[in-house]
Amino acid sequence: MSSRLIAIAVDCRDADALAEFWREVLGYPPPDRWADSHGTTYVELKAPDRPSVLFQPVPEGKAGKNRLHLDVAPETVEQRDEVARLVTLGATLVDDPEDDRWVVLQDPEGNEFCVLPRRP
């Protein structure tokens, strides 16, 4: 018996803006919005055969290094081209280690993520 990953939840200050950034990064369709029993509105990216990415608004900003981060890889372009595209969407370059295969970026709210080379 095991569990299945159904969603990646991201705490953020501006759920709409961060969902739009990640929608462009990942190529998801427009988001759904729904409210919980406390009146908090969540923004959710959903696509067939992919986990949902759920943006939940919180009052505080990011504090410290992520304990969990996303790794993405371009589907049709080379890694450097994808890094350039993500920077134009609002990502910030954090680290481009010469001896490693990944490039570290931050999303508009400072959450680190890595861009790896395209995979066959």
For residue 101, the domain's CATH number is 3.10.180.10
Residues 4 and 25 in one domain: yes
Range(s) of the domain holding residue 101 = 69-120
Query: What is the CA angle 35-11-100, rounded to 5?
Result: 145
Stated pTM of the model: 0.92
Residues 6 and 45 in one domain: yes
And the tokens for 16? Answer: 């709409």
Residues 46 and 91 in one domain: no
Residues 1 and 53 in one domain: yes
pLDDT digits (tens, 9 = 90+) for 10-53: 999 999 999 999 999 999 999 999 999 999 999 999 999 999 99
Residues 51 and 74 in one domain: no
pLDDT class of 65 with cuts at 50, 70, 90: confident
d(CA 120, CA 115): 15
pLDDT digits (tens, 9 = 90+) for 67-104: 899 999 999 999 999 999 999 999 999 999 999 999 99
Domain count, the chain: 2
Which amino acid appears at position 110 of this protein? G
The answer to whether residues 103 and 109 touch, using CB atoms and an 8 Å cutoff, is no
The answer to whether residues 90 and 108 touch, using CB atoms and an 8 Å cutoff, is yes
Residues 18 and 39 in one domain: yes
Residues 50 and 14 in one domain: yes
Q: Is residue 53 a part of any domain in this protein?
A: yes
Residues 1 and 42 in one domain: yes
Q: Is residue 64 a part of any domain in this protein?
A: no
